[in-house]
Amino acid sequence: MKPAAFEYHRPDTRPEALALLEQHGGDAKPLAGGQSLIPAMNFRLATPAVLVDLNRVGDLAYMRVDSGVLRIGAMTRHRDVERSEDVRRAAPLLFEAMPFIAHAAIRTRGTIGGSLAHADPAAELPAVMLALDATFRVESVRGAREIRATDFFTGLFGTALEPGELVTEIQIPVTPATGPRTGTAFTEFSRRHGDFALAGVAARVTTDERGTCVSARIALFGVGDRPMAAAAGARLLEGQTVSDDLLRATADATAREDIDPTGDIHASSRYRRHLAGVLTRRVVARAFERSRVTHEE
Amino acid sequence: MTRPSFGQRVRRNEDARLLTGRAMFVDDVNLPGMLHVAFVRSMMAHGTLKGIDAAAARQRPGVVAVYTAADLGDYCKPGPVLVNPPPVPGHVFHGCTQLPLAKDKVRYVGEPIAMIVAESRYVAEDALADVIVDIDPIDAVVDLEAALKPGVPLVHPHLESNAAAHVVQRKGDYVAARAKADIVVKRRFLYDRGVAAAIENRAVAVDWDPRAEEMTIWDTTQAPIPIRNGLAKMLGLLESQVRVVAPFVGGGFGPKIMMFYPEELLLPWAAMRLHRPLKWTEDRQENFYATTQERGQVHEAEMALSKDGRILGVRDWFLCDTGAYDPYGLTIPINTQCTLLGPYDIPNYETEFTSVFTNKPIVTPVRGAGRQHGVFVSERLLDIAARELGIDRVEIRKRNLLGPDRFPHNHEIMFQDSAPLVYDSGNYLPTLEQAAEIIGYDKFIREEQPRLRASGKRVGVGICCYVEGTGIGPYEGARVTVEPSGTVRCATGVGTQGQGHFTVLAQIVADALGVGVEDVRVVTGDTREFHWGTGTFASRGAVVAGSACHAAAMSVRGKILDLGSAILGAPADNLELSGGRVKVAGSNDPGIAFGDLAGRANPLRGAVRPGTEPGLESTAYFGPDRGSTASGVHAMIVEVDPETAAVEIKRYLVVHDCGTIINPLLVEGQIHGGVAHGIGNAFFESLVYDDQAQLMNASFMDYLLPTATDVPPIETAHRETPSPFNVLGLKGVGEAGCIPTGAVFAQAVEDALGPGAGVEINEIPMSPNQLFELMHVSGKERA
Amino acid sequence: MNLAGTFTFAGPRATVWALLHDPAVLAKALPGTKTLTLAGPGRYEGAMKVSIGPLTAAEFAVVVTLSDEIEPSHFAMQIDGKGGVGFAKGSATVDLAEGADGGTVMTYASDIQIGGRIAAVGQRLVESVGRMMMKQALDSLNAELEARVKK
């Protein structure tokens, strides 16, 4: 399990990194935390001719809140996100999801931008970004653009990134603590702590003073070729107050209409669908509950 | 007075080296000019090998040599059958062992086809893709039952079928017992394969010195001396020209006792031709194919009982997957046959198995070695019988335990060591009662479970008994030497893979000589240090090598007393050994330090008297007629999420009896590791082969070893029923932790789901997905 | 891996049949195809390099042999792909029926065995990759068909 030979660059600045990515195009891979890429290279299932190591690029790791947006530099390590007070306050859903990502050792190296650009369909963060309606800033030598999470994930490990483009910043609207109240919740089912989830759900529910759902987003992972927004499930919630029947109907609609999971050695398609339903019900219930708690604060 | 160390929680002598990273492992061997090896392995499980084109690989810069079977000449011979079948009348056994490199046919994915030697492992791996292998595929033999049907392709075409062996063993008259039974419970049971997953994969490094004509082989083997003996013979060298070192080895668990692995044969051969040191370190993916595995068995078993729950007899029929070859003979299925009897009085027993060749990696013992299958079958049948008879699970076990007056107990069938299965000693009832008491069985069933169930929680308790045949022969030896420095050296042949030999063997010698444990230096796993022995397997290190160490140390003690008596002018009976000195008991005279005595025993002038030997040194051997039988009870409390089928282990208890305990700390360590292994087998680990015997989860991404978060704290309690078969009363403990785990898990999960769920778990491993299917199917059936 | 399904092409059956036998068209449609040539009657040879996001398996040598051809409604295929990290080997059947509105309904079934390292470490993705490649291929063929029909 030794990688094939590759050319290695370690730029110090963002323009140098972008220039290298532009120069080598599809032959180059940016190296962020290396927690997915390096194992794939060791298995020789990834054989990039060129690695552009971003770990020396200074200005890609930061977290700050401005004008209602939580901005996270793409090279910010999971471990830093997990421990950030800003993240806890501005994006409690992201904060709740972080400990589910792999293991502490992996989170210490792995980066938020790397995970999103990798777009593993069983990863936590892409679904969280869908539920939070995040936007990604991507840059290349040709300029910068912004891509909404809903448009970013295009298929199995597929993203809207063009050759030469790099995710540089994740922008998450701050979960409002006033006005309509918002509750978020996250869970996943995996065989062991840190494994790829057999199914996982992130939800955000906003209610008015009477507890009626104003808007809802549900995103699932591990149950398709990309993170899946559960439109049918979420639609049932809007305009409703929480009840066991509503939760059950939402879970059923999500499991039946919003996903079409494949089976693998760990979980059949049927079991994944079943898990997706159970987890959706539990997570949406918790999100409702938390939207009420913010009311009472 | 030096305090005896037996029974004390003595810290391990080896840990300072291990924990500070100073212990040497095979991969630490780096010699000038060393070359690195990688193997081209079959991607097909079954096929005719039509051609190998290695021309491009040989051309690649950095590649030094590429060898195929054709290059090996006479050296390309099938390996030995390591363990001949025990002499059970009427048994059939077809020994088929593998070539170092495949010729004409491939029989499993991963079978080595060509050996690449290069300046680095990177280049060697680059060259793997250069070798073009032409294989004409044959349908793979995967399923054990299908393998025996007519018309199925044969793994070994010179045989009439894929049956590798057939053995029937009988005790009493099962048919007559069945006729008298009030109830007969019959089920089909599956227990599937896993890997041993030692943290250190296999590795071999070789240095051939053509001028001295000496070869040094560093090998992760559990059996350095037999490896040395076999390689010397095959390479045409004297045993004294070959030194095999098994340094610190990161876990064995059985597969490293296998010999000879192709890599062990090929690196020394190539080193003699290339005149350069070579190293091969197995990577994790290779380990899933190239290292032996265990556990695939299918049982059809029935138990006949009277209505008061007494076992009248058991009949078991099973198939045992031996993989593509069967170098380890019948050890595993014979263990299954013998261990099924457990701690119970089973007067009538009929057991029959067919061992089956398949196109999967070779099967040799992995921790437990067939024992868990036997325990699973008998414990599950008892659970089912208890349910059907309306008898409590613990009660039905109590009614069938062998009483303390029944030892030694002859089971009248043959064990894996070719001796009759005789239990040396045991006291089973108090072990079961203690386990039930600690886990709070009665209160749990009566109060906690109903209360929790009422609040929607599904919790259950499991409790199972087992015995483990341990400490078998043939023999081990040891040489104990008091050096002039006063340090005591103890050399033995068994290799060590983390068991704590540097501590327990030191304790045995230390207590015999009256020195501190830390003053005894154990040397093991190096054929230069000790010439005779077999290896570390079958929970035998402490029992067999330990008894040899004890005998050698007692002999040295005799020499110390003799010489001390002569010098101190006091009868030996009046002397005492303590603190590394011999002195007159009760005297204020400090006596003589062992080091000084050692100097006096090896004088530069004067003569060693006829009939004596120089120095304070003795060599002794121990070979038990038969093994000793450890026993125990495991209990477990689980909670099942009825919606997701997730299972959480809340408590795990082991009450264990391995005879006299040398060091409870190490016994507990063995049990903890074993339980983790057992939990893995029961719930997480599973080798998934497709219908062409392609392994679909050959990495730790998909092969789920339990981690620290999946293994609960393990509670232990010890009982000591000494073995009469060795002076110290020892029994083995290496495998105990993983033997009944599957059975306890199944019982606990069923109990958690409750009788209404109609779930019966007769298959291990049991993933949440499988459990979900069981719950769903039985739910539908009820409706 | 078993992939099976139906797909409706927006064009006549004879054209679909022709497209499915045209190595130049197939080379464009099948994801990762680097070369594909007709090497003999019903025998196509080529090279593929399949990439899924960051994962790029090394190049595969591919041989596809057609059999049981009943123009324009049915054919079978033997597929044999070999590469440094694994192999894919299997068979497939394709049936074409005339559909509504001048379209063509294709029914396909395949049984592909995956071996080597791709099977060993990629099992979580194999089925999804198979589905994805099939979808991309069919969409691409259909686009080509529409272009031809418009002409």
pLDDT in tens, B703-725: 999 999 899 999 999 999 999 99
Task: Classify residue A202: in a domain, yes or no.
Answer: yes
> First vs last Cα of chain C: how many Å apart?
38
**B259 is written with which tokens?**
């010999």
* Tokens linked to B752: 């958690």
Higher pLDDT, B734 or A99: A99
Assigned domain for A223 exists = yes
Residue C47, helix vs strand vs coil: strand
pLDDT confidence of residue C66: 92
Q: Which domain holds residue A40?
A: 7-53
Window 58-117 of A: residues touching C by CB (8 A cutoff) are: none
State the nearest Cα–Cα gap between A31 and chain C, in angstroms: 11
Are A156 and C118 within 8 A, CB to CB?
Answer: no
In this structure, the answer to whether residues A203 and A238 fall within a common structural domain is yes
Residues A98 and A167 in one domain: yes
Query: What digits encode the pLDDT tens for the residues C61-101?
Result: 999 999 999 999 999 999 999 988 889 899 999 999 999 88
Distance CA B770, CA B772 (A): 5
Mean pLDDT throughout B322-348? 97
Classify residue A118: in a domain, yes or no: yes
Identify the residue whose tokens are 């409702």: A288
Lookup result for tokens 């000693």: B425
Contact between chains at B767 and A194 (C-beta distance less than 8 A)? no
Is the predicted pLDDT of residue A264 greater than 60, yes or no? yes
Residues A166 and A207 reside in one and the same domain: no
Last residue of a domain, one of A150, A173, A196: A173
* Residue B606 pLDDT greater than 80, yes or no: no
pLDDT digits (tens, 9 = 90+) for B4-29: 999 999 999 999 999 999 999 999 99
A215 and A126 within one domain: no
Lowest mean pLDDT among B119-128, B273-282, C27-36: C27-36
Q: Does some domain include residue A274? A: yes
**Chain A positions touching chain B (beta carbons under 8 Å):** 1-5, 43-44, 189, 191-196, 265-268, 271, 274-275, 278-279
Q: Looking at the predicted structure, is the pLDDT value of residue B93 above 80?
A: yes
**A144 and A235 fall within a common domain:** no
Question: Are A42 and A98 found together in one domain?
Answer: no
Chain B hits for A274, Cβ within 8 Å: 772
Confidence at A72, pLDDT banded by 50, 70, 90 = very high
Decide the pairing of beta strands B488-492 and B476-482.
antiparallel
C14 min Cα distance to partner chain A (Å): 32
| pLDDT value at B611 more than 90 | no
Tell me if A135 is assigned to some domain. Answer: yes
- For the stretch B50-89, pLDDT in tens is 999 999 999 999 999 999 999 999 999 999 999 999 999 9
B451/C148: higher pLDDT: B451
- Last residue of one domain, picked from the residues A138, A173, A208: A173
**In 3D, which of B27, B42, B69, B65 has the Cα closest to residue B204?**
B27
Q: How far apart are CA A90 and CA A93, in angstroms?
A: 9
Judged against a pLDDT cut of 60, whether residue A178 lies above it is answered with: no
Beta strands in B73-172 (DSSP E): 92-93, 105-106, 112-118, 132-137, 163-171
Judge whether A247 lies within some domain.
yes
Interface membership of C115 toward B (CB under 8 Å): yes
**What would the mean pLDDT of B39-44 be, rounded to a whole number?**
97
Chains in touch with C (3+ beta-carbon pairs under 8 Å) read: A, B
- Do the Cβ atoms of C124 and A46 come within 8 Å? no
Contact between B227 and B234 (Cβ < 8 Å): no
CATH number of domain containing A20: 3.30.43.10
Confidence of residue B783 (pLDDT cuts 50, 70, 90): very low
Among A44, A46, A262, beta carbon nearest to C128: A262
Chains linked to A by 3 or more Cβ pairs within 8 Å = B, C
Q: What is the pLDDT at residue B745?
A: 97
What local confidence, expressed as pLDDT, does residue B776 receive? 87
Residue range C107-136: mean pLDDT, rounded? 86
Closest to A189 (Cβ–Cβ): which among B646, B696, B767?
B646
| CATH code: domain of residue A203 | 3.30.390.50
Q: How far is B282 from chain A (nearest CA, A)?
A: 9
- Are residue A93 and residue A117 in the same domain, yes or no? yes
A111 or B625: which carries more pLDDT confidence? A111
Which pair of structure tokens corresponds to residue C125? 């993705």
pLDDT band at C117 (very low <50, low <70, confident <90, very high): confident
Quick one: A124 and A223 in the same domain? no
Q: What angle do CA C54, C58, C64 make, to 5 degrees?
A: 120
d(CA C57, nearest CA chain B) in Å? 12
Domain identity same for A117 and A98: yes
Residue A273 inside a domain? The answer is yes
- pLDDT band of residue B175 (cuts 50, 70, 90) is very high
Of A146, A173, A200, the residue at which a domain comes to its end is A173
Split at pLDDT 50, 70, 90, the class of B628 is: very high
Stated pTM of the model: 0.95
A162 and A213 assigned to the same domain: no
Residues A247 and A270 placed together within one structural domain of the fold: yes
Please say if the pLDDT value at position B428 is more than 80: yes
CATH code of the domain in which A70 resides: 3.30.465.10
> B728 with B660: CB under 8 angstroms?
yes
Residue A1 within a domain: no
Tell me: pLDDT of B780 over 70. Answer: no
Number of domains composing chain A: 3
Count of CB pairs separated by less than 8 Å, B with C: 43
The reported pLDDT for the residue numbered B147 is 98
Position A177 confidence tier, pLDDT thresholds 50, 70, 90: low
Collapsing DSSP to helix, strand or coil, B778 comes out as helix
Q: Which residues of C123-134 are buried (b: 16+ CB within 10 A; e: fewer)?
A: bbbbbbbbbbbb
Which residue from B43, B288, B702 is facing C115, i.e. has the nearest CB? B43
Whole-number percent of chain C with pLDDT over 90 = 50
Q: How far is CA A270 from CA A51, A92, A260, A265, in A?
A: 40, 31, 9, 13
